[in-house]
Amino acid sequence: MSLRNVRAYFWENPLLSLGIGRGSGTPTRAVDGVNLELKRGETVGLVGESGSGKTTLGRTIVGLEALTGGQILYEGQDIANFRSGARLRRLRKHVQMIFQDSQASLSPRLRVSYLLQEPYRIHEVPTGERHTVADLLGMVDLAADQAVKFPHELSGGQAKRIGIARALALRPELVIADEPTAGLDVSAAASILNLMQDLQDRFGLTYLLITHDLNVVSYFADVIAVMYLGRLMEVGPAKELFDAPAHPYTRALLEAAPDPQTARSIRGPRLVLSGEIPSPRNPPAACRFHTRCPFVQPVCRTRDPSPEEVGPRHVVMCHFWREVLSGEAIPSSSTGKESTR
Amino acid sequence: MSSAILDEQIVRRAGWRQSTLGRIVGRPGGFFGTAVVACLLVVVAFAGTIAPYSAAAQDIPARLQGPSWHHLLGTDQLGRDLLSRILFGVRIELKVAVPAVVAAWVFGEALGLVAGYLGGVVDNVLMVVMDTLQAFPAVILALTLLALLGPSLIDVIIVIAVSYAPGYARVTRASVLGVKQDTFVEAERALGAGKSRITFVHILPNIMPPLFILSAMNLPSAIATEVGLSFLGLGVQPPTPSWGVILADGFTYVEAAPWAVLWVALFLMVTTLGFTTLGERLRDVVDPRLAGSER
Amino acid sequence: MTPGPDPLLVVRDLSVGYMVGATNIAALDQVEFDIDRGESLGIVGESGSGKSTLGLTLMSLLPRNASIRAGAVILKGLNLRNLQPEDLREIQGKEVAMIFQDPLTSLNPTLRIGTQMMDVLRAHGHGMHQTRRERIIRALEEVGIPDAANRIKRFPHEFSGGMRQRVMIAMALMLEPALIIADEPTSALDTTLQVQILALMKRLQTKHGTAILFISHDLAVVAGVCHRVLVMYAGRVVEEGDVSSVLERPLHPYTKALLASRPSVTRRNERLATIPGRVQLGLGCAFANRCLHAQSVCRRQAPRYVKVERNRVRCHIYDESSAYHVEGGSPLSDGFDV
């Protein structure tokens, strides 16, 4: 799948609810020009803070949000403008989503067995081609007796597995996982991640993993895409990003990810971002990250960096990525903070 | 993780009292309400057997008597046994109130679903219509409609249904709007479910509870409305023993023989209390968040 | 235990249970530890481990259906169990303050920030309006909220998540308590904000000398803030020690499993360990049904606290007097077998 200059804006306009008039005023630019390639069988980790637009991007791909501009090419076709029911429906068989709050994503008054067969009913899949409920439960390592339960009777881990099973029922090719470990205990999260990896090996799935925690993504992502205020700051092979991040934001995210080992040796990261992510309604001018960048220079406030190639399939949007990479960049005291200790 | 295990242990050890039925009947309000409703249902079924006399049997020499061994509640102006008339009247009341409320529910809910899910222009138009209907004082509405349709049982049912439908439409619409945003609706959309599927399979079952409770509360008002209309002579006509008719008859002789008025008032009060307390208990059990303080 | 001779908080043999219907559910079982003045202790456990219950107990905030079954909680020499409600209320907020996980629900959405903070000060009888106002502004500035004088007129929803948590910290610090209990204060925040809040807490702790009880499900987060850590499982303390030794040389099988099941950027290529089974309480060690090294004594008898170097463990493996060794169990050599 290819995303080209994808944009999703939201307007606040009460008239829109009446079906009259078009958007006007300042929109919230949740996704503002994203270019990304998803190769078959790969796992792409989409990371960023809350408010970076990553969830919106995921939802746009699945069709839950309307696209404002750009193209989403799937198997050669631009699916961005699939408005008609039939084409959208067929697409749904190939692209599925696992929601952050799995328990809430299950219809409360229906039993698990009914919910798992929903996708087949919706798409009118003949009985011969369906997986049985027991099959689906087995795929996610759940016993068949879970089928009679209602969603509120499931634990967090079980609900997540049911969400995965339901998403896989139609044998999709692309699965978008929104914060797959949110709300789960450490041990439950570990089994879910293991499960996801096993399923990927078994069915040849392509994942888009959306999360704010780099630890989660480090487990089996092949490619990492770092998103900030609607744009991708850095995209590249996971190994390269983890070992040698080129963008200051990537570096900050890496150092913020809690880790027993680094906590031990350093007792605190060296790079602490100050402030919080600005509102997508009012993104900073030029380089969006300049308000929080510890290496900010005057040019960052006036000229928007364009994507530059660091290596094969590795792109970064920063004026000074070479200095960041080589370690020559020195934090300026006005925005970035060095933590003592 | 372990909280799920704890839940299982709790459920296994809990007794009957924890079941839904137990919780409704377990508390004084619920018990009283259920008892009243149960009695009413028994009367509806067996009025013929229970009532000592028929509703129409006249006994002029015995007219306007107070309670006695022959006539436990006394007699009306034509010597008819009040107890029997009131018991048969239960049938009339429920025969009017129940279909009226059910009709209001069905139509109101349908309109609410359409307005809530489709939104936009449809929603606005429907809500304007509902608001207009609700803006009329119920009595005026009733009088107008009955003047047009002529007084009879069926017409009373229609009138009551029409006046209650907007309430159901509003509650339904509000619930639909709330549920529409929920994650599971999004999840179904992501799976490819169409609007009608989402509305009927997923949204509908989740909005039922407030409507049940609304009905439980509407029944006594429907009964009261019927009594009022019949009292005014606009509904059921004498000699059919609707409580309103009995009340109207008794009203003429209230100074000499207030029995009819007294007993009808008492029965009406108990019936209303019964349904209302049952409805409140149902509400507490079904959705504890709506309750004042759950004990 | 490493704390000094006059600890701020002493907890001994604490057992707390919840009544649900007619059943008693044990939430804490024989918990004991000390906290020194100015020290920060981390409590690590998964959901159901009792860590939140512990925090609530120390704050005397247990819900009506829960009670302390046994044991003592002694703060500055006072046994909290013996105090009257009025005295407890004096202590709440003044000696011990709590910071919760979700600042959105912990702050009253209908009151301005300034008003809420004022209420806290007024409840503990602090000076006049003007001095209170100054105190509030100073507290907000200290936690890094710019333009505090104007911000106090705002409502909670006008603040972002990270800001709200800072307000919570300011509220907790205002009365200069001796102990702050933080229950998952950063779990609702992004990692970048988490780092900020943790750095802030460390700084404030050094400056004010406040002791911190940091409750979290993430050992790594606790490692960045605390001197010592307690690992809890099913209401019991299973391991206790200073942070670096617990992380580098975990003793209890559960601690080892917990560390091995965390995905980590630095250990990306290792398969995550998972812990089989579910929590099951029985007569013996709570972890017995999921422990790879369990022997039959583990299922029969609850292990005692045993000192290992400077740490403590509740596990038969380290208990030389236990029947564990007789039954053929051998001391763990290294690592956790997956």
pLDDT mean over A165-180: 89
* Residue A118 with chain B: CB contacts under 8 Å: 188, 191, 193
pLDDT of residue A338: 38
Average pLDDT value for chain B: 78
Q: How many angstroms from the chain centroid is the CA of residue A296?
A: 27
The band of B16, judged by pLDDT with boundaries at 50, 70 and 90, is very low
Helix pair angle (B243-252, B82-118), 10° resolution = 130
- For chain A, the domains span 2-94+172-326
Average pLDDT value for chain C: 81
- Chain B segment 121-140 residues within 8 A of A by beta carbon are 121, 124
Residue A17 has pLDDT above 70, yes or no: no
pLDDT of residue B19: 58
The band of B90, judged by pLDDT with boundaries at 50, 70 and 90, is confident
pLDDT of residue A284: 81
For residue A51, the chain C residue with the least C-alpha distance is C190
CA distance C178 to chain B (A): 33
Residue B21 has pLDDT above 70, yes or no: no
In this prediction the pTM is 0.77
CA distance C65 to chain B (A): 12
pLDDT of residue B15: 45
For residue B3, the chain C residue with the least C-alpha distance is C48
Of C21, C46, C279, the CB nearest to B10: C21
CA distance C219 to chain A (A): 7
Helix pair angle (B153-180, B82-118), 10° resolution = 40
Helix (H) or strand (E) holding B146: helix B138-149
**Interface membership of C292 toward A (CB under 8 Å):** no
Of C190, C263, C267, the CB nearest to A216: C263
Half-sphere exposure of B193 (CA within 13 A, CB side): 22
Q: Which fold is adopted by the domain C9-222?
A: Rossmann fold (3.40.50)
* Residue A262 with chain C: CB contacts under 8 Å: 266
Average pLDDT value for chain A: 78
Q: Which range has the worst mean pLDDT, A206-215, B44-53, B90-99, B283-292?
A: B283-292
In angstroms, the first-to-last Cα distance of chain A is 45
Alpha carbon separation from A208 to A99, B71, B155, B191, C321 (Å, rounded) = 12, 82, 62, 17, 53
Reported as a single tens digit per residue, the pLDDT across C56-75 is 888 888 888 888 888 888 88
pLDDT of residue C215: 92
Q: Which residue has the higher pLDDT, B282 or B126?
A: B126
Alpha carbon separation from B179 to A42, A149, B171, C209, C214 (Å, rounded) = 36, 21, 12, 49, 37
pLDDT of residue B14: 44
Instruction: Catalogue the E-assigned strands of C112-194.
Output: 179-183
Shortest CA distance to A191 belongs to which of C103, B1, B243, B281?
Answer: B1
* Residue A49 with chain C: CB contacts under 8 Å: 190, 192-193
Reported as a single tens digit per residue, the pLDDT across B131-155 is 888 887 777 877 787 778 777 778 8
Q: Which residues partner with C306 through β-bridges? A: C313
pLDDT mean over A181-203: 86
Of A257, A261, A268, the CB nearest to C191: A257
For residue A172, the chain B residue with the least C-alpha distance is B191
Q: Which residue has the higher pLDDT, A293 or A160?
A: A160
**Dist. CA A214–CA A37, nearest whole Å:** 20
Rg of chain A in Å (alpha carbons): 21
Backbone angles phi, psi at C14, to 5 degrees: -80, 125
Ordered domains of chain B (ranges, CATH): 21-290 (1.10.3720.10)
* Pairing between β-strand A223-228 and β-strand A308-311 as defined by DSSP bridges: unpaired
Reported as a single tens digit per residue, the pLDDT across A257-311 is 877 665 544 344 466 777 777 777 777 877 888 888 887 778 888 888 888 888 8
Residue A16 has pLDDT above 70, yes or no: no
Helix (H) or strand (E) holding C307: strand C305-308
Reported as a single tens digit per residue, the pLDDT across B234-275 is 777 777 888 888 888 888 888 877 878 888 888 889 988 888
Q: Which range has the worst mean pLDDT, B63-72, B198-207, C148-157?
A: B63-72
Residue A238 has pLDDT above 70, yes or no: yes
**Dist. CA A141–CA A158, nearest whole Å:** 9
The band of A210, judged by pLDDT with boundaries at 50, 70 and 90, is very high
pLDDT of residue A177: 92
- Determine what percent of chain B is predicted with pLDDT higher than 90: 0
What is the complex's ipTM, to 2 decimals? 0.78
The 3-state DSSP class for residue C182 equals strand
Residue B197 has pLDDT above 60, yes or no: yes
Of C223, C263, C265, the CB nearest to A264: C223
Q: Which range has the worst mean pLDDT, B11-20, B35-44, B200-209, C227-236?
A: B11-20
Of C22, C48, C234, the CB nearest to B13: C22
**Dist. CA A293–CA A274, nearest whole Å:** 9
**Interface membership of C268 toward A (CB under 8 Å):** yes
Backbone angles phi, psi at C249, to 5 degrees: -130, 70
Q: How many angstroms from the chain centroid is the CA of residue A103?
A: 19
- Determine what percent of chain C is predicted with pLDDT higher than 70: 92
pLDDT of residue C214: 92
Superfamily covering domain A2-94+172-326: P-loop containing nucleotide triphosphate hydrolases (3.40.50.300)
Reported as a single tens digit per residue, the pLDDT across A83-129 is 556 667 777 788 889 998 888 888 888 888 888 888 888 888 887 87
